[in-house]
């Protein structure tokens, strides 16, 4: 693998040099005012990215990955035997279900095809049928990384409200937050979970959580076992700008730099850039004569596209060849779509020019493997889209 080539996996993502340098810093006393001066701006910036109320709720930054964030979300708000409602429509929604079961929770699962998003209507029916309000939390995956499918979290909240159900809404936004619009307050999300290694463009190592006031209150009555991930201890230490244990200072300094970069670009522009790059990828896939995994355009993710392999071919072969021959990483299919797709990640620190190199590499691999794809076809389709939209953006700016 060449370190000179960009990565096209759904995370960890390409790291801007300024963020890499921010993480590479001397040791400081993490109980000193110097650390508080790093930490507090990072928390404030995350609050903006999550679309939180500036004066309500809490942002918590844990030394972990997104999976640790999932665990912290459930162990701090639920008790053994509590019922949660979840849909299984991809590898990451499935992993969250498995984690809940490992903690002794009663998981009511609604099955959906892996090309679909969260089944809003079925979730609403299940909540309406729960007249005793035994369901304590609803779990949702905003962006299913395994399939390149985006779910309608605002629609899920509408269904919960229509059912008059008081359950908490916990959302996995690991591969969407910082790259796609996320409106925690407007969507009525109680806990949002993100990770440092995706839209925030950092190395893996931080689980980033936003908690609504309701979620903070739920922490007092919850009694699932927790120690390292006890968010009450975190909140006590936050009052002095610190941690109850040793924090990853370099990563937090990188996070402060990351949110500054997102602010400087403007979140609306960040989201527009991701959509533009993703749409170029989708046009390339169509020009190849192939299909994306997502069942329809409303489900298209702007951070990852799962390309369905044609009959008789294996998507994993593209990933293996790209890495061994060209030094470029793509994502393999996971779970039920293993071998059936290969995944193109297009999030974080990425431009249309970088994306064109990834599309060209995918075309070379497919040609090498005998796939029925005309070399240059997808790149040309993406070029035309990027070229035209770049002109439109230049005119708008002028």
pLDDT in tens, 291-310: 999 999 999 999 999 999 99
- Residues 316 and 246 reside in one and the same domain: no
- Residues 207 and 311 reside in one and the same domain: no
- Residues 232 and 288 reside in one and the same domain: no
Write down the pLDDT at residue 25.
Answer: 93
pLDDT in tens, 342-369: 999 999 999 999 999 999 999 999 999 9
Residue ending a domain, among 264, 298, 330, is 264
- Residues 355 and 215 reside in one and the same domain: no
Residue 115 belongs to domain spanning: 17-264
What is the number of domains present in the chain?
2
% of the chain residues with pLDDT over 90: 92
Residue ending a domain, among 229, 264, 299, is 264
- Residues 205 and 216 reside in one and the same domain: yes
pLDDT bucket at 393, cuts 50 / 70 / 90: low
Helices 267-287 and 352-368: angle between axes, nearest 10 degrees:
20
Write down the pLDDT at residue 391.
Answer: 55
Does residue 64 lie within any of the structural domains?
Answer: yes
Average pLDDT, stretch 330-337? 96
Does residue 187 lie within any of the structural domains?
Answer: yes
- Residues 238 and 342 reside in one and the same domain: no
Write down the pLDDT at residue 398.
Answer: 44
392 has a pLDDT exceeding 80:
no
Rounded to the nearest integer, the mean pLDDT of the chain is 95
Measured between alpha carbons, how far is 180 from 301 in angstroms, rounded to an integer?
9
Write down the pLDDT at residue 72.
Answer: 97
**Which CATH number characterizes residue 314's domain?**
3.90.1150.10
pLDDT bucket at 396, cuts 50 / 70 / 90: low
- Helix, strand, coil abundance in the chain, percent, nearest 5: 45, 15, 40
Write down the pLDDT at residue 77.
Answer: 98
**Which CATH number characterizes residue 24's domain?**
3.40.640.10
- Residues 86 and 231 reside in one and the same domain: yes
Does residue 11 lie within any of the structural domains?
Answer: no
Average pLDDT, stretch 61-86? 96
- Residues 285 and 195 reside in one and the same domain: no
- Residues 293 and 230 reside in one and the same domain: no
End-to-end CA distance of the chain: 41
Does residue 3 lie within any of the structural domains?
Answer: no
- Residues 87 and 196 reside in one and the same domain: yes
- Residues 271 and 258 reside in one and the same domain: no
Average pLDDT, stretch 198-225? 96
Write down the pLDDT at residue 390.
Answer: 75
pLDDT in tens, 154-192: 999 999 999 999 999 999 999 999 999 999 999 999 999
E strands, the chain, in order: 58-63, 83-88, 106-111, 135-141, 143-144, 149-150, 168-172, 191-195, 206-211, 291-292, 304-308, 331-332, 341-345
Write down the pLDDT at residue 240.
Answer: 77
- Residues 288 and 238 reside in one and the same domain: no
pLDDT in tens, 271-282: 999 999 999 999
């Amino acid at each position: 693998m060449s370190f000179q080539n960009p990565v096209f996996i759904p995370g960890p993502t390409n790291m801007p040099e300024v963020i890499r340098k921010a993480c590479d810093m001397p040791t400081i006393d993490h109980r000193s005012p110097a650390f508080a001066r790093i930490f507090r701006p990072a928390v404030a910036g995350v609050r903006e990215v999550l679309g939180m109320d500036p004066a309500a709720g809490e942002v918590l930054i844990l030394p972990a990955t997104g999976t640790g964030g999932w665990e912290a979300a459930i162990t701090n708000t639920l008790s053994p035997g509590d019922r949660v409602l979840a849909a299984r429509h991809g590898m990451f929604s499935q992993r969250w279900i498995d984690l809940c079961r490992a903690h002794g929770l009663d998981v009511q699962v609604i099955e959906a095809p892996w090309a679909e998003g969260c089944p809003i209507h079925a979730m609403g029916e299940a909540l309406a049928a729960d007249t005793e309000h035994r369901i304590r939390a609803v779990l949702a995956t905003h962006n299913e990384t395994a399939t390149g499918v985006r779910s309608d979290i605002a629609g899920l909240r509408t269904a919960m409200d229509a059912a008059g159900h008081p359950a908490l809404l916990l959302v996995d936004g690991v591969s969407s937050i910082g790259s796609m619009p996320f409106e925690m307050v407007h969507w009525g999300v109680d806990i949002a979970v993100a990770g440092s290694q995706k839209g925030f463009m950092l190395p893996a190592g931080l689980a980033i959580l936003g908690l609504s006031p309701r979620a903070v209150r739920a922490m007092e009555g919850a009694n699932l076992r927790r120690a390292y991930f006890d968010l009450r201890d975190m909140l006590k230490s936050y009052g002095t700008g610190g941690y109850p244990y040793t924090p990853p200072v370099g990563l937090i300094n990188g996070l402060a730099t990351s949110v500054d970069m997102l602010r400087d670009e403007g979140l609306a522009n960040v989201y527009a850039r991701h959509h533009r790059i993703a749409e170029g990828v989708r046009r390339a896939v169509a020009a190849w004569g192939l299909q994306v995994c997502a069942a329809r355009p409303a489900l298209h993710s702007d951070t990852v596209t799962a390309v369905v392999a044609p009959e008789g071919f294996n998507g994993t072969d593209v990933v293996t060849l790209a890495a061994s021959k060209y030094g470029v990483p793509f994502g393999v299919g996971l779970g039920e779509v293993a071998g059936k797709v290969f995944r193109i990640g297009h999030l974080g620190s990425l431009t249309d020019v970088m994306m064109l190199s990834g599309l060209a590499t995918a075309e070379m691999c497919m040609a090498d493997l005998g796939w029925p794809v005309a070399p240059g076809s997808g790149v040309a389709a993406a070029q035309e889209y990027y070229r035209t939209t770049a002109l439109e953006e230049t005119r708008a700016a002028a």
